[in-house]
Amino acid sequence: MKVLVVDDFSTMRRIVKNLLRDLGFTNIQEADDGSTALPMLQGGDFDFVVTDWNMPGMQGIDLLKAIRADASLAHIPVLLITAEAKKEQIVMAAQAGVNGYIVKPFTAATLKTKLDKIFERLG
Amino acid sequence: MSFEADEEILQDFLVEAGEILESLSEELVELENDVDNADLLNSIFRGFHTVKGGAGFLSLTELVDVCHGAENIFDLLRNGQRSVTPELMDTILSALDTVNDMFVLVQNREPLVAADADLLAELHRLSTPEGEEEVSAAPVADTPVVSPVSESSGNDSQDSAVDEMSEDEFEKLLDELHGSGSVQAVSSGTSSHTEETSAQVSQDSSSDEITDDEFESLLDELHGQGAFSAESSDSSSSAVASSSDEINDDEFESLLDELHGKGNAPKIVESSKQDVAKVDIPPAVKPAKKPTPKPSPVSSTAPKAAKKPKQESAKKAPQQASSQGETTVRVDTKRLDQIMNMVGELVLVRNRLTSLGLTSDDEDLTKAVSNLDAVTTDLQGAVMQTRMQPIKKVFGRFPRVVRDLARSLKKDIKLVLEGEDTDLDKNLVEALADPLVHLVRNSVDHGVEEPDIRESLGKPREGTVVLSASQEGDHILLTIKDDGAGMNAEKLKEIAIERGVLDHDAAARMSDKEAFSLIFAPGFSTKTEISEVSGRGVGMDVVKTKITQLNGTVNIDSELGVGTVLEIKVPLTLAILPTLMVVVGEQTFALPLAAVNEIFHLDLSNTNSVDGQLTIIVREKAIPLFYLDQWLVRNFVDKSREKGHVVIVQLGNQQVAFVVDRLIGQEEVVIKPLDRLLHGTPGMAGATITSDGGIALILDIPNMLKFYAKKSPVNKKLRS
């Protein structure tokens, strides 16, 4: 499964990458914000997107909306990383079509639960 | 939080977050002059946010706490719920200092110390909207009464005032948004309804809480009365009863259920669960369409539409994937040092080949050697380039330094930075940081006058300190200029005499410019009382020593009442040293070329003795003269000489002449440290391999004079 990790903070990308690798995901690419992620998604056959919410340039939520608005990408599940689980924000993200959210900091186990839930929903 | 603090990740974090902290300090000072700059506020917010995020993963809780406080404040600032005040800035800046201190602790592998409780309290106080500080976040616990959504939901209801939306709640939310199970045809009105209701949620409830009733009505609105409640009675997910404005997993799950149908991923709103189930494709290809924002897709074509591009892109992917890589690589500076060292060796070999080529008649060899010469020069330049960093890295800290200092001294000072993009060697950038800070502090403290005094002198109240950098050939010129009081040469001389650094005769002969350099004398301070700012810690003499170590020079000029200019010249790199090769006795020595002023052939009988010191007159200026062989040749026997090669070197404002036996020429050398046995030999900076394959000692001129010319008045003067 090809995963795109989007975060402006490269340390964070590395952390998320390591965690994903622990869970058996090996094909992982990185982007540093929404506006660089989108062309990558359009160009590559990504199966999953893990994105931070707060980024300069294009925010995670806008990336999510852009993904859902693009017919060729709309099917890609998106996991949103946030700093806090503000209800207002999560509702907004859910309405924009997010598949799951995860609150920083998290462990590989938490990430796994979140991913399992998403794939469960996908069938 | 049980993330294993991977050493490499920690290192990465320190580097990257360190950069963020550096720019934060710049941005904060900038903010003070531009309080309403939304971009700046956003960027600062994000800075703290990012550092907090990283620190969270590394279990640096103490760091997280401080960043969190600062982040909250900037969240309010950027939303206009607070405004920037000097006091707020002080708090934020001290928070940043605390963060920086913690950083050092992390770097040194020391346990973190929790931030000052007062600071945290202050951060907390400031992170409530203006005017509401007193009314703190107390009333949040406003009794969340649990009234189950359905009969079956007694199981794991959330009745605590949890801060987060539960998994079940999220599931429910998803169900809600996308139609749960058999609930079909979520109308296009759904989204607006949902938005309305969620907006209502945040408005109605005083503390952003979502109550069961509200949530139920949200569900009703989305799916029609009863329809959803029938669904939800099947559901095992818990009731939504969290009482804060945060979402927990359960809430999110139910939200998703609502949005996409129970247990489904986001998909086309109109298509029912059963429809999708028939399309038997792998999970990732499951047709999914944007859910609520614009819920008007054509249901029958959508799955295909979603599927086709997917296949197309799958074909295209391999070629494209390869072209998307990072364009930068982080390299350990040790490796760069190694490469630099090897290039240095190559330069030596090149030198050797060049000198062989000169004596050879073989035209082909000469050609090849000159080719090698050119390539090596390019390579040397390119490698040097990799180690270059903009001086911005050092300059970046000055706005803060000047700001703090000016505030504590109650002065009004504007700092102007010029040539921040000037590149120089990384080692130099680091080595220059401390001396520069000291000099700038000095300008602010001793140079610029108090606003009232300035006004009475007819100057603008605000003083200006200009810090500039520029490249001049193979040197970097750094200038610190202030429009302050300037220095009084006579006063400086008086003090120097008082302190025994100078005698009256020497003082009388001293030019103003030389007198200004007295401030670099050890133990010299123009202020009689020690000021808190620049009167302690490293003295100006340490600054000078440091710059001299970098093969640099300091030049000072001042005009009373107008201001002072300090010029620092340093070579572009430390690794390769241009030298003048000379022979003394039978041995080759290298003099750093930067110090060499001129070379000439001199009639040695034409010397005078002044104060017991041999001097020569060059262009009507008396210059002390030394025979290098008296110092550097073993078993030296004095011989009479009529003519000799004289090399004049410049040390600060002082010129010194050396007599050498022979001049070889200019050569770029790589400094090799002396062996342990020879280490610390006075006057020797190191050794190098010469172009003829021999070994030459590199002279450290100031040290050599200090050691050999102890009794000479020159030495006294030099030390001053």
Looking at the domain covering B333-386, what would its CATH class be?
Answer: mainly alpha
Work out the average pLDDT over B332-348: 83
- Per the model's pLDDT, the better-predicted residue between A99 and B693 turns out to be A99
pLDDT of residue B269: 41
Per CATH, the homologous superfamily of domain B576-718 is CheA-289, Domain 4 (2.40.50.180)
Q: Yes or no: say if B398 and B27 are a contact pair by the CB < 8 Å rule.
A: no
pLDDT at B436 over 50: yes
Residues B295, B300, B301, B306, Cα dihedral to 10°: 70
Gap between the Cα atoms of B167 and B249, Å rounded: 2
Q: Yes or no: say if A64 and A80 are a contact pair by the CB < 8 Å rule.
A: yes
pLDDT of residue B193: 44
Share of chain B above pLDDT 70, in %: 70
Work out the average pLDDT over B385-414: 84
Q: Yes or no: say if B217 and B298 are a contact pair by the CB < 8 Å rule.
A: no
B139 touching chain A per CB within 8 A: no
DSSP for B688-708, please give it: EE-TTS-EEEEE-HHHHHHHH
CB atoms within 10 A of CB B605: 9
> Which residue is closest to B39 within chain A, CA to CA?
A56
Q: Which of B59, B164, B307 sits opposite A85 (nearest CB)?
A: B164
pLDDT at B318 over 70: no
A78-82 β-sheet, strand order: A27-31, A2-6, A48-52, A78-82, A100-103
Conformation bin of residue B119: beta by default, left when phi > 0, alpha when psi is -120 to 50: alpha
Categorize the per-residue pLDDT at B245 as very low, low, confident or very high, splitting at 50, 70 and 90: low
Mean pLDDT of chain B: 72
Q: Which two tokens stand for residue B344?
A: 């240095």
> Which residue is closest to A45 within chain B, CA to CA?
B314
Gap between the Cα atoms of B537 and B360, Å rounded: 58
Work out the average pLDDT over A84-92: 80
Q: How many residues does chain A have?
A: 123
Share of chain B above pLDDT 90, in %: 4
For B3-127, CATH number out of 3.40.50.1000, 1.20.58.480, 1.20.120.160, 3.30.160.270 equals: 1.20.120.160
Work out the average pLDDT over A39-51: 88
Contact flag B324-A44 (C-beta cutoff 8 Å): yes
pLDDT at B25 over 80: yes
Question: Whole-model pTM?
Answer: 0.53
Q: Give φ, ψ of B377 to 5 degrees.
A: -60, -45
What are residue B580's DSSP bridge partners? B591, B666
Gap between the Cα atoms of B88 and B96, Å rounded: 12
B241 vs A contacts (CB less than 8 Å): none
pLDDT of residue B199: 41
Q: Yes or no: say if B579 and B593 are a contact pair by the CB < 8 Å rule.
A: yes
For B389-528+535-571, CATH number out of 3.40.50.2300, 3.50.50.60, 3.30.565.10, 1.10.3720.10 equals: 3.30.565.10
Q: Give φ, ψ of B628 to 5 degrees.
A: -65, -30
Q: Which of A43, A87, A97 sits opposite B245 (nearest CB)?
A: A87
pLDDT at B70 over 90: no
Work out the average pLDDT over B146-157: 40
pLDDT of residue B191: 42
Give every CB contact of residue A10 below 8 A, 6+ residues apart in sequence: A30, A32, B12, B16
Work out the average pLDDT over B311-330: 50
Q: Yes or no: say if B667 and B688 are a contact pair by the CB < 8 Å rule.
A: no
Categorize the per-residue pLDDT at B647 as very low, low, confident or very high, splitting at 50, 70 and 90: very high
Gap between the Cα atoms of B439 and B429, Å rounded: 15
pLDDT tens string B247-300: 777 777 777 777 766 656 555 444 344 443 343 444 443 344 434 444 444 444
| ipTM > 0.85 for the complex | no
CB atoms within 10 A of CB B530: 10
pLDDT at A77 over 60: yes
Gap between the Cα atoms of B139 and B555, Å rounded: 65
Candidates B113, B4, B24, B145; CA nearest to B74 is: B24
pLDDT at B445 over 50: yes
Work out the average pLDDT over B462-478: 86
Work out the average pLDDT over B561-566: 89
Domain locations along chain B? 3-127, 333-386, 389-528+535-571, 576-718
pLDDT at B520 over 70: yes
B314 vs A contacts (CB less than 8 Å): 45
pLDDT of residue B132: 58
Gap between the Cα atoms of B91 and B119, Å rounded: 7
Give the three-class secondary structure for B132.
coil
Categorize the per-residue pLDDT at B486 as very low, low, confident or very high, splitting at 50, 70 and 90: confident
**Could you report how far apart the first and last alpha carbons of chain A are, in Å?**
16
> Which residue is closest to B45 within chain A, CA to CA?
A54
Gap between the Cα atoms of B81 and B286, Å rounded: 44
Work out the average pLDDT over B474-489: 87
pLDDT of residue A5: 92
DSSP for B278-308, please give it: HS---GGGS-----SSS----TTTHHHHHHH
pLDDT at A50 over 70: yes
Lowest mean pLDDT among B240-249, B336-345, B452-461: B240-249
pLDDT of residue B237: 38
Mean pLDDT of chain A: 87
CB atoms within 10 A of CB B240: 33
Work out the average pLDDT over B174-196: 47
User: Among the ranges B291-295, B420-424, B521-525, which has the highest mean pLDDT value?
Assistant: B420-424
B12 vs A contacts (CB less than 8 Å): 10-11, 14
Gap between the Cα atoms of B5 and B14, Å rounded: 12
CA distances from B653 to B172, B490, B521, B720 (A): 80, 17, 13, 11
Local structure of residue B677 (DSSP, 8 states): T
B242 touching chain A per CB within 8 A: yes
Strand B654-660 and strand B621-627: the pairing is parallel
pLDDT at A62 over 60: yes
* E strand segments, B508-653: 553-559, 563-571, 576-584, 587-592, 596-603, 608-610, 613-618, 621-627, 643-651
pLDDT of residue B481: 92
Work out the average pLDDT over B46-73: 86
Contact flag A44-B248 (C-beta cutoff 8 Å): no
User: Among the ranges A58-67, B173-182, B233-242, which has the highest mean pLDDT value?
Assistant: A58-67
> Which residue is closest to A7 within chain B, CA to CA?
B50
pLDDT of residue B327: 67
Chains A–B, number of C-beta pairs less than 8 Å apart: 214
**Could you report how far apart the first and last alpha carbons of chain B are, in Å?**
58
